[in-house]
Every structure is written in C-alpha cells, then in structure tokens.
Structure 1
Amino acid sequence: MRIAINGFGRIGRTVLRQILTRPGDADIEVALINDIAPLDTCAYLFRYDSVFGPYPGTVTAAPGALDIDGRRIPVLSERDLGRLPLEGVDVVMDCTGTIKTRAQAQAGRDAGAANVLISGPCDEAEETLVLGANEDRLGSATLVSNASCTTNALAPLLKAIHAAHPIAQGHMTTIHCYTGSQPTVDAPRGDLARSRAAAVSMVPTTSSATRLLGTVLPALENRITGAAVRVPALSVSAIDAVLTFEGTLPDDPAGFLRRLAEASPVLGATDDPCVSTDMRARPESLVIALPETLAAGPRQLRIFGWYDNEWGFSARMIDMARLMAAR
C-alpha cells in the first residue's frame, strides 16, 4: 500500500511512527508528507515527542525530505491538497483537521490519489466509518471520514452490546485530555469554557461523538446522549457510559463485556486497577476497565473504558486505509 500524509501534526506524526515501528506495517510505502511547518521543525517534532518519547531510531532533515532510519520520505509544503503529486497513491490521509466539505476532499482525488481518508468528522464525506461498527458500508466510497477518536472508542462497544442485549437509552461522558484546540493560557475561543487555560482546569464541553453516533449506528440514533469534560492530562482519555437496556442485564456483566472484547478486533479489556498513563500507546479503540463495571438495578449498567485518543485513533487510520486500498 502506498500512502501520503497531508498534515504532520499529532495524528500525522503518530500514524508515521506506527508505520515505521510496527512489524505488520513494513509493507506500507509513505510516498510523501505535506505540512506547512519548516522542515527542521517537522524533523524535530517527530524525533522528540512529549507523549510517546523519543523516536527509537535516527531522524534527520535532508533537502526536501526526512531521512528516518535510512528511509528517505519527500516532504512538501503546500497549503492546497489539490497541488500535491498524488499519482499512484492508494490513500492520502488528510490529518490537517481542515477538510469539512466534499469539494475539499475531492481535491485529493483530482490530484491523483485513489482514496482520501479524513482524520476527523466531515459531514460531506461519502461515508463516515468506524472499524468494528459500520465498516461494511465502505462499498465503493473513496472520500471517507474516520469519524472522531471518541466515536471510535464508543461505537464498536455499543454495536456489540446492542446486538446481544438491545439498548433502550444511555448517556456517555468522555473524560478527555486537553488538545491543541484549547489555549495554554486564557484566550478567546468560540466556546467560552474552552477559552480557559487547558492545563489547570476541568472544562465541561461537548463531544462530536454524540452527533456522529447516529450516523455510524442508525439503530441507536437519539438513544444515546453525550458530553465531554476536558481534563488537565496530556494524553489518554476515557469513556464513562451508563446504559439502560430494554430487557434485564446479562448475567455476570463484567464477564459479558470481557467476551465482547475478546471477540472484537478493536476492543480490549483489563482486570487491573489502571490509571490513564498505563494506557499510553495502546492500539485498541477502547480498553474496558472491568473492575469499574457497575450494575444499578436490573436494567442499568455503568461501563468505563480507556482510549489513547492519538495512538488508538491513528492505528484505526492505518487499518481503514488498508481496507480502502484492498478493494
């Protein structure tokens, strides 16, 4: 598979780190990277990462390229996706966070890429897909949104639960680490609460997963509400969900959740009393914290799970790109 990475921020760099360090991804060729930051800055931020630590190899900037472990990857600095030389590229991963319309995504196809995979919500994408939830809808779609990190954490869990024990309604709160959309000191943002300094306060806000869930899982549309609390943590987020079932709870709820995780390619589970840093660089979309499972009456269940919103989501970007390129 031949890919291009457009946008070398948190997700773009994490995708590349996984491609270069996971044995199963040795067959992926990175045709080019595109970012408007200076090349030396791109090299530095890939070499030294505040979340995942230094890259375990050699990284140097060459004229118009990054040399990583002796592998030369061309680096361009174009603001327009449509100006990139994408002929022969199976999938261009847009990791800029700026593509919101079909016309913007189509520019990647017009430049020669067979497929465009968007690392975030895009209402005008041909499909919004989440592995473990609705990837069977891929069909012939070439402009695909990989949804959001929280949707990737929640949708596969709810899909598996609902298939076995129908959900009547529920509420999800994501306890989410702060991100680059928040200021480090108080500064104006559209959302007043998110105008406050990210690393010193818990900030109640919204989650795009609430809206995307009905798109990904139509059977649960209007059944699940959601909210978010941004917290002063650098990485790893959590899902705290309370579900009410149409019938009674499954016997041994924790065992039921363990079996769901064992049967899923994207879910995990742990019996250990973990904290968020223990889940850094976990590749699963969600790791269910089984000791936190709590039955409240005959029909209501509380479920708690961890997800590395950068590493796990980037792993799904690679997996989804493989699906798209394999057609």
Structure 2
Amino acid sequence: MTRPMQVFINGFGRIGRTVLRQLLTDPAHADIVVVGINDIAAADSCAYLFQYDSAFGPFPQRVRADAGLLHVGDRAFALTRHSDLAQVDLTGVDVVLECTGRATTRPVAEAGLHAGAQAVLISGPSPVADQTVVLGANAQTLGRARIVSNASCTTNAIAPLLRAMDAAFGIAAAHVTTIHCYTGSQPTIDLPGPSPERSRAAAVSMVPTTTSAAHQVTEVLPDFAGRLSVSAVRVPVHSVSAIDAVFQLRNMPADALSALRGLFADDPIIGLTDDPCVSTDMRARPESLILALPQTTAVAPAQLRLFGWYDNEWGFSARMIDMARLMQSRD
C-alpha cells in the first residue's frame, strides 16, 4: 500500500490557507498528510484568518490555536513561528509548500531541504528555482528538480491554453490581457509605490500595470518568444481574475465553438462554461482557466478572440496540490 504523502506548509497567507482548505474539504486529498504549518504571524491570527475568509466564507468547522497547535475540527496541526525554516525538523516531509512569497533567494528557497524535506514547491515565480513548471504546459521538464516554482496564477491560466491552441491550430501571434483582481501588493489608499499607477488605491480604479506572466510564459514555453505579448490591468474586485486573448491562427477552425469543446472536453486544467457568468460565479473553481464560450469571437479568416476566468487563489492552490503529487510520484 502506498504511504500517505507528507507535506509541510511554510507561509499561512492567501495560498497557504487556501491549500489547507482544499486538503481538508476534498475527500480526494485524504491521502495527503499536513505534518505542520509555519508562519511568523501570531497563532491566534492564523486561526482567525483560517476560520473566517472574505473570499471563501467561514470554514465549516471550529478553528482555534493553543500550545503550538492549530486545531481544525478534530484535527490538530503543529504550528510554528520560525523566520528561518531550516530551524524546523522536516525529516520525512515529501514536499514543502513554500508559500511565504520570500523564496526569491537561494538560501530561503533551499531552507526546507536543509531542514530534511525531499523537495520544495514555491507558490509563485522564483529566479532561484531549479525549474519552473506549469501543469498542462511543460510538466515534462520537471525531471529530478528539488526546488520547483509553480509560476504565477496568470502563467498557469495562459500557458496551458497557448500550448493546446498552438498544437491544434498553430498560433502565428497572440496578445493576452489579464484582468486581475487587486492583491496585497497594492495600497488601499494612494501611497508611493513601484510605479505611478501601482501607487494608487486598489479598490477604486482600474490600474494598468505589468505582469510577471509576460516573461514567465516564454520561460515555460520558449518557442513563443517573439510571437506573444502580455499586458495587465488590475481591477477593483477582491477575488477571481480573467484573460482576454486574441490569436492569429495559421489554421482557423471552421466552427470555433465545436473545436474548443472537442479540444478541452473533460480537461482538468482548462474548463468550459456556456453560461453568461460574472466573476463571482467562478469563485472556488479548481481549473487553471475556464473559457467563457459565449465570449468566443471569430474575426476575418484567421483571428480568434477568447475570454476566460480563473480563480487566482483557488485554482492556483489546486495546481500546487497537483504539482506536489507529481513531485512526490518521482520517488
């Protein structure tokens, strides 16, 4: 009998908490054991923010913290507050889910390995990862990499779509705009920031900005260099994002909707909807992208416009779990 996979969550912010929610509420993850959680925040704050979530609602079981433990219903998880993960004994841990947002230097990224874990999966872009892997796009490049970046939520939304569309129809050129909800990197009131636009209050304006996906997609899919551009607009919603993509195709399908249905039928990474949805309807969807078929528009003989939703927290966290499984399965 295969032993349960052991994971450790380092960083109990938006992604760390969402990963734990999925692991505790989806019976399909009963074979994954969370052996501990580490975050520098006070234990009471960790418990409160897991119990009450502005995007996903209250957790259905009682949550409390005491004596170095996070209690969720009848389960208890070791809860530590180390700024250096190397101080935690991670012997026997298969994968550290590195969710602090700080793994941009090698010492931070490899701390979990020094603590005894077999591998580290980073919940975002990292220039020091051994490999950046996006499921549905370049999973074949994983190899034996021990420090892996799961890229960004937007890269996870775009890259699998590009790979599938290119294989099916041939993409001569593409432009993708991500329409992204605001994040913790933006101020709630006007404050000095990394750019004039990003210094403005997040919840009152649409903010044109840059996105890491602009270069990450071509890192994941190098053959798209020179035929892809990506831009971003942050919008005043707190959950769920979208992409608006225009493709110049070498082989335009005669019936675009039928072709899309055939291409993505039963795809766990890219979903489809025929309904006239808005962003809140897509909250807690596990796919990396959900194409809104009513928004599909074919223009001229070779141009196709697609629109898709993605829950940038829930969907990305689902891929974290899937990627951790893939990493552990190499053993």
Partner of 2:221 in structure 1? 217
1:67 is aligned to: 71
- Give the equivalent residue in structure 2 for 1:124: 128
1:81 paired with 2:97, answer: no
Q: By how many angstroms is 1:263 displaced?
A: 5.0
1:55 pairs, out of 24, 38, 59, with 59
CA contact (8 A) 2:206 2:235 kept: yes
> For 1:256, which of 245, 255, 259 is the aligned residue?
259
Residues 68-92 of structure 1, C-alpha deviation per residue, up to 9 Å, x if partnerless? 1211100000111222211110000
Partners of 2:10 and 2:98 within 8 A in 1: yes
**TM superposition shift of 1:248:** 3.6
SS at match of 1:37: coil
Structure 1 position 309 matched with structure 2 position 312: yes
How many angstroms apart in 1 are the aligned matches of 2:86 and 2:256? Answer: 50
**One-letter code aligned to 1:50:** S
Q: Give the number of equivalent residue pairs.
A: 326
Give the SS at the match of 2:265. helix
1:244-293 Cα offsets, whole Å, 9 max, x none, are 12x24112112212222215321100011100000000000000000100
TM-score under structure 1 length normalisation: 0.98
Counterparts of 1:263 and 1:51, CA distance in 2: 27
1:266 corresponds to which residue?
Answer: 269
Q: Read off the aligned partner of 1:296 and give its amino acid letter.
A: V
1:273-292 correspondence to structure 2 within 5 Å: 273-292=276-295
Aligned partner letter, 2:20: L
Question: After alignment, is 77-86 or 179-188 more displaced?
Answer: 77-86
Structure 2 residue matching 1:219: 3-state secondary structure? helix
Q: Check the 8 A contact 2:176/2:243 in 1, yes or no.
A: yes
Structure 1 gap ranges (5+): none
Query: Residue 247 of structure 2 is aligned with which of 227, 231, 243?
Result: 243
Equivalents in 2 of 1:158, 1:190: separation in Å? 30
* CA distance in structure 2 between the partners assigned to 1:82 and 1:192 by the alignment: 38
Match of 1:318 among 318, 321, 329: 321
The question of whether the paired residues in 2 share the 8 Å contact of 1:132 and 1:265 is answered with no
Give the secondary structure class of the aligned counterpart of 2:126.
Answer: coil
Which of 229, 234, 251 is 1:230 aligned to? 234
Q: 1:222 deviation in Å?
A: 2.3
Asked whether the equivalents of residues 132 and 264 of structure 1 are also in contact (C-alpha less than 8 Å), the reply is no
Q: Which amino acid in the other structure matches residue 298 of structure 1?
A: P
Distance 1:210 1:251 in 2: 30
1:106 maps to which residue? 110
| CA distance in 2: counterparts of 1:103 and 1:135, whole angstroms | 25
Amino acid aligned to 1:121: P
Task: Give 1:41 shift.
Answer: 0.4
TM-score, normalised relative to structure 2: 0.97
Report the AA paired with residue 237 of structure 2. Answer: A
Distance in 2 between residues matched to 1:24 and 1:13, nearest whole Å: 18
* 8 Å Cα contact 1:91/1:114 also seen in 2: yes
Moved beyond 6 Å, runs of 4+:
none
Question: Structure 1, residues 196-233: CA drift from partner, whole Å, max 9, x if none?
Answer: 11000000001111100111111212211011100000
Query: Mean Cα displacement is larger for which, 282-291 or 61-70?
Result: 61-70
Q: Secondary structure at the match of 2:104?
A: coil
Deviation string 1:25-65 (CA, Å, 9 cap, x unpaired) is 01111111011110000000000000000001121112101
Deviation of the 1:103 alpha carbon: 3.3
CA contact (8 A) 1:165 1:250 kept: yes
In 2, the alpha carbon distance for the partners of 1:124 and 1:8 equals 22
Question: Alignment partner of 2:305: what SS?
Answer: strand
Q: Aligned with 1:324: secondary structure?
A: helix
Ranges in structure 2 where 5+ consecutive residues have no aligned partner: none
